[in-house]
Each structure stands twice: as structure tokens, then as C-alpha cells.
Amino acid sequence: ITDCASQMTEIISLIDGIAFQTNILALNAAVEAARAGDHGKGFSVVAGEVRNLAHRSAEAAKSIKALIDVTHDNVRQGAAIVQEAEKNMQEIVGGSGQLNVLMNEISTTTREQEKGINQITLALSDLESATHSNVLMVEALSASSDVLKAQVIELQTKTDKFRLSQPGYSEHALSRSHVSPLSTITRRGQA
């Protein structure tokens, strides 16, 4: 566009030069028509019209040149804006590349966190199973303990019915004296 505007300016300068030369020729023709007298009157009218046409062509060329100058300035400003926009677009493209890298990093981190959460969930599930097993074992142990306690109470109740006939003897002492421990035991209340 800038090159075309420059070429148009050159063409307008050429048209302006042609209009100037045409005006000079028209002036020379008017001078020659005046010298010819009555015979040159018709030629004088044609020379005047050519001069008017040259003058209008010069004015039109000046107007067109002014418009081309304004257009040329606008084109230069537009070219500067386009260059700035291109620079901004390159920065945006570069920024979007960085944004893409960051998004990939976030995606990778999110996947790693998801794996970590899944591992924590599995560990919690294992812990829950182990806790449930421990609860069941504690309940079984408690039940066994209750059974043993009941058996101890029952055994104690049964053994409380018996006592040694001679206080102070122990089973160890009885075994050394070759006395059967059962022979020294009597039922309570039968002594």
C-alpha cells in the first residue's frame, strides 16, 4: 500500500507537470492568436479553453496529491499499528505457549495428586479393615475372657467346697511326705 501511494504521488506530480506545460502552451497560443489579429480570434478562444482545462487539471492534481498525502500518512500509521499488532500477537502466542506449559504442569500435578488421594483412600480402606478386624478380635477376646472368668468363678466355687484338713500344708509339702493330697482333703463341713 505504501509503495502504491508513492507511485500515485509520482503520477500526480507528472500530471501536475503536464498541466503546467499545457498552461504555458495555452498562454503562448493566446499570445500568437493576439498577434494574428482577427484571424486568430477562434484560435484565441481555443487557447483560453485549453488554459482553463490546464488550470482545472492542475487544481485537481493538487487536490488528489493532498488526498494521497493524507492517505499515505494514514497508511504509514496503519503500517505502524499493524507492526505493533504483529508484535503483540507474537507476545500473545509466546504467552499462550507459556500458558500451555503451565496448564500441562497443573494437569500433571493434578494427576499426581489424584494418585496420592487414591493411595490414601486405599490406605484408609486397609486401616478400616484392620480396625474392624481388631474390633472383632477384641470382641472375641472379651468373649473368651468372659468365658474364662466364668470358668474361674465356677472352678473357685467348686474348689471353695474343699479345704485342706491340716492348715499350713502345701501341695509341695504333701508331695515330699509321700502323702496323697487327696487323702488330706475333706469336704467343708465334714471335718
Q: Compute CA 11 distance to the chain's CA centroid, rounded to the nearest angstrom.
A: 55
Q: What is the pLDDT, as a whole number, of residue 173?
A: 52
Q: How far apart are CA 21 and CA 24, in angstroms?
A: 5
Q: What is the pLDDT, as a whole number, of residue 110?
A: 92
Of 47, 25, 21, which is closest to residue 36 (Cα–Cα)? 47
Question: Would you kindly state where each structural domain of the chain is located, as residue ranges?
Answer: 2-108, 161-191
Residue by residue, pLDDT tens for the chain (191 residues) are: 667 767 877 888 888 888 888 888 888 888 888 888 887 777 777 777 888 887 888 888 888 888 878 887 887 888 889 999 999 888 888 878 888 888 899 999 999 999 999 999 999 999 999 899 989 898 988 888 889 999 999 888 888 877 655 555 555 554 555 544 444 444 445 54
Q: Compute CA 93 distance to the chain's CA centroid, rounded to the nearest angstrom.
A: 14
Q: What is the pLDDT, as a whole number, of residue 167?
A: 56
Q: Compute CA 30 distance to the chain's CA centroid, rounded to the nearest angstrom.
A: 81
Q: How far apart are CA 9 and CA 180, in angstroms?
A: 144
Q: What is the pLDDT, as a whole number, of residue 183?
A: 47
CATH topology for 2-108 is: Helix Hairpins (1.10.287)
Hey, is 157 helix, strand or coil? Answer: helix
Contact in structure between 68 and 13 (CB atoms under 8 Å): no
Hey, is 187 helix, strand or coil? Answer: strand
The structure's pTM equals 0.42
Of 21, 50, 20, 47, which is closest to residue 34 (Cα–Cα)? 47
